[in-house]
Structure 1
């Protein structure tokens, strides 16, 4: 089980690092389709900033292997996936093409993959058990 978790973490780190690099280079305009029209910052700035965050999180996943830091990192990555989810919803609701998602059906189906990324981050890093353990130890310390 630990081998699968380690491979999952390394693979997720590689995917995030690669995606972040493409934010800054070849897929920059594609990622702009995911920035909601109502968001108060320029789409290009959001794409560049999120690319830097993705690269940082990806590299951290590739280098942080000891608990509890590993689990906390996994929780942060999961939160990142949750925070960017409105961009995916906006792409669907605003009918924006990007990454071959050129129909509302394709954009809608894509929404169901975001929870899988959240679960991947949590499972590959043992985030839930790490956080649960930290909360339990804090509760016992205050008694």
Structure 2
């Protein structure tokens, strides 16, 4: 098997793509976190599953603060992008049961007013996990 090493241009494009992914996802997380604390607070409260043991508002405020912190760190601390990307991916995994509960309970929020829309949303969560890992440098081709 013959392996070709990637050219410097390929590595530069991949690095740029990872950086754009990291900054875009980080900025989106900051925006979502701010929305948790302000204009969309009630919408987010509606998404907290009935079985979750904490108060809905406390859950929304706490997750908003975490989103702002992770998003800002992901953008502002590129030296730690691997760690933060891993933490962000874990965060997306941790909140996934809430998305499943929204589907199963038929909760309307953020325009997700049909079972089909809520189901489609479930398939977007793995994309966020992969984007966090990719932007953090976890999903890189080996250098040969």
TM category (shorter chain) comes to: 0.7 to 0.9
The offset of 1:108, in angstroms, is 0.7
Q: Are residues 1:9 and 2:28 paired?
A: no
1:33-84 residue CA offsets vs partner (Å, 9 max, x unmatched): 2211001111111000000000000100111112xx2211110000000000
How do 1:1-143 and structure 2 match up within 5 A? 1-66=14-79, 69-127=80-138
Unpaired runs of at least 5, structure 1: 130-143
Runs of 4+ in 1 over 3 A off after TM superposition: none
Per-residue CA deviation, residues 110-137 of structure 1 (Å, 9 max, x unaligned), is 00000000000000111356xxxxxxxx
TM-score by length of 2: 0.85
User: Highest CA radius of gyration, 1 or 2?
Assistant: 2
Answer yes or no: is the 8 Å Cα contact 2:29–2:70 preserved in 1: yes
> How large is the RMSD of aligned CA atoms in angstroms?
1.0
- Structure ranking higher in helix proportion: 1
Residue pair 1:32, 1:44 contacting (<8 A) in 2 also: yes
Tell me if the contact between 1:15 and 1:58 (Cα under 8 Å) persists in the aligned partners: yes
Q: Which stretches in structure 2 are left out of the alignment for 5+ residues?
A: 1-13
Q: Number of residue pairs matched?
A: 127
Give the alignment's TM-score, normalised by structure 1.
0.86
